[in-house]
């Protein structure tokens, strides 16, 4: 990836430019601001869709975290760590 011209900075910019993920559950909570902690007036079909979505989202996050933890370390040769020298 880095050999193809991608730097840590461009990768960061790329990730920051990703559009935010719209989760139905987030919208349901936003739309029911005065319904207490757990809204109770949400239609069943919307709830079902939100539960399925949040479970899948959680699975994807956990899978991504696992993959990131297994990445081979990449030496950052251009970064100077003066604290290390001290």
Q: Which of 58, 63, 65, 76 binds another protein (CB under 8 A)?
A: 58
Q: Which is nearer to another protein, 52 or 64 (CB)?
A: 52
Q: Is 47 in the site for another protein (CB under 8 A)?
A: yes
Q: Which is nearer to another protein, 12 or 60 (CB)?
A: 60
| Token pair in block for residue 12 | 């960061």
13-36: string of b/e by CB count within 10 Å (b at 16+)? eeeeeeeeeeebbeebbeeeeeee
Give dist(CA 20, CA 5) in Å, integer: 26
The mark string for 9-28 relative to another protein (x by CB under 8 A, - otherwise) is -----------x--x-xx--
């Amino acid at each position: 990836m880095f050999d193809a011209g991608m730097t840590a900075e461009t990768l960061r910019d790329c990730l920051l430019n990703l559009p935010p993920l719209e989760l139905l559950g987030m919208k349901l909570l936003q739309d029911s601001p005065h319904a207490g902690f757990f809204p109770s007036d949400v239609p069943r079909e919307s709830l079902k869709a939100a539960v399925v979505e949040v479970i899948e989202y959680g699975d994807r996050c956990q899978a991504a975290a696992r993959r990131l933890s297994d990445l081979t370390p990449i030496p950052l040769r251009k970064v100077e760590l003066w604290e290390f020298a001290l």
